[in-house]
Amino acid sequence: MKLKGSMLSLIAILSFTFAKLGSGVNCWGVLYQPKMPEELRN
């Protein structure tokens, strides 16, 4: 049970980190690249 809990917390930390990275990339794209490529928009 302890291993499963640590795995879930690790996944939560990873998803949180990726969410922060994604929001940073989106902010950069909005600020510096008003016309985003179609691949990134999907």
pLDDT of residue 38: 60
Query: 3-class secondary structure for 15-30?
Result: HHHHHHHHHHHHHHHH
| Domain of residue 28, residue span | 1-40
pLDDT tens-place string over residues 1-42? 678 889 999 999 988 888 887 777 766 666 666 565 566 555
**Structure confidence at residue 29 (pLDDT):** 65
Q: Which residues contact 8 (CB under 8 A, 6 or more apart)?
A: none
Count of structural domains, the chain: 1
